[in-house]
Amino acid sequence: IRWTEGRGWHDAQLTPYAPLEMDPANMTLHYGQSIFEGLKAYRQPDGSIATFRPEANAARFQSSARRLAMPELPADTFVEAVELLVQQDRDWVPTEPEQSLYLRPFMFATEVGLGVRPANEYLFVLIASPAGAYFPGGVKPVSVWLSEEYVRAAPGGTGAAKCAGNYAASLVAQAQAAAQGCDQVVWLDAAEHKWVEEMGGMNLYFVFGEGDSARIVTPALSGALLPGITRDSLLTMAADLGYATEERKISTDEWKQANADGTLTEVFACGTAAVITPVGSVKSARADWTVGAGEPGPVTMRLRETLLGIQGGTVADTHGWLHPIVTA
Ligand code: PMP
């Protein structure tokens, strides 16, 4: 679907996958007006297909567009585009548990020009790709690197938007994490390098205490971290399961201390791609420690099974999060 100033959205097309032609002076290549979303279509037990909270992705896409001075795609057009593509690609939605069809809506400037200003033409595109289970051999905790050298986002910046530049800025830290033998980067706040924000493509959760009296804490939205849809769903889902939940600031010192004294029992990351992933160990330039027992914890696994169950249609969807795709 194209957008042109003065004309709005026009020329929606459903076409076979093919390369896009691009002018070397395409403004996106120079000034980075590029935003995207990620969501999945899940096979249901009766063979039908559903997506998970596409309206939430549509709303976040609009908020990313506002931050990048881009036009907002109407939410119902976004959801309709998702429906049309999934209907078209229905045979590509896997039937095995934990597998899905990953959907990538994105928008970028198509105007040709070399002046720094918001472009006057954009293209919204939606592509799909089957996604396997994140942990084909069973859930395995990830190791994380606390990045004290680089920051992903600062207050007033684009951290709360899902824009390409945030990911470009994160690559060097991800390489540093890999060089330290870690799977993922944990981003800290820009001012004090002290407050935990999120991971490269996932939000973080901390579990204090055990069993039914566990308290589940996630860093509060600061404007510098992405408001994950999985994060948001988990706040509701965890409360449904009887856990106390809290959004607040959490520092690396608290993380280390509470881990050492045993009050912090589990840590996990959550996102559309990784669903819920336990964090097993932490490393920074100054310290390293094992999280809890270093194994996937019971609260983490319970939340993971429940979320996968809602998405896969085996656990009751009491909040109407599943969006059925009609494929008659
Ligand atoms: N943080 C970042 C930086 C991400 O890229 C993602 C993935 N979209 C998330 C968090 C998790 O968001 P969601 O649950 O909506 O996938």
Q: DSSP for 279-324, please give it.
A: EEEEE-SS-EEE-TTSS--HHHHHHHHHHHHHHHTSS--TT--EEE
Could you give the CA distance from residue 301 to residue 275 in angstroms, rounded to a whole number?
11
Asked whether 203 lines ligand 1 (CB < 6 A), one says: yes
Which architecture does CATH list for 142-312?
Answer: Alpha-Beta Barrel (3.20)
CA of 168 to the centre of ligand 1 (A): 15
Phi (first) and psi of residue 51, to 5 degrees: -105, 170
pLDDT number for residue 108:
98
Q: Which two tokens stand for residue 283?
A: 């490393």
> Of all helices (H) and strands (E), which one includes residue 38?
none
Q: For residue 211, what are its two tokens?
A: 């069993």
Q: 2-131 in CATH: which number?
A: 3.30.470.10
Could you tell me if the CB of 224 is within 6 A of ligand 1? no
Mutation test residue for ligand 1: of 106, 202, 235, 237, the one with most atoms within 8 Å of CB? 202
The predicted structure's pLDDT at residue 238:
97
pLDDT of res. 284: 95
- CA-proximal residue: ligand 1, atom 6 (nearest): 201
pLDDT score for 134:
82
Distance 203 CA to ligand 1 centre (A): 6
234 pocket-lining for ligand 1 (C-beta < 6 Å) = no
Would the CB of 230 count as within 6 Å of ligand 1?
yes
Ligand 1 contacts CB of residue 109 (under 6 A): no
**Taking the model in full, what pTM does it have?**
0.96
Q: Quick one: pLDDT at residue 136?
A: 77
Q: Distance from the CA of 266 to the center of ligand 1, in angstroms?
A: 20
Distance 89 CA to ligand 1 centre (A): 24
Q: Does the beta carbon of 105 sit less than 6 angstroms from any atom of ligand 1?
A: no
Low-confidence ranges of the chain (pLDDT < 50): none
Ligand 1: residue whose CA is nearest its atom 5: 201
Ligand 1 atom showing the smallest separation from residue 170 Cα: 3
Q: Where are the domains of the chain?
A: 2-131, 142-312
CB of 201 within 6 A of ligand 1: the answer is yes
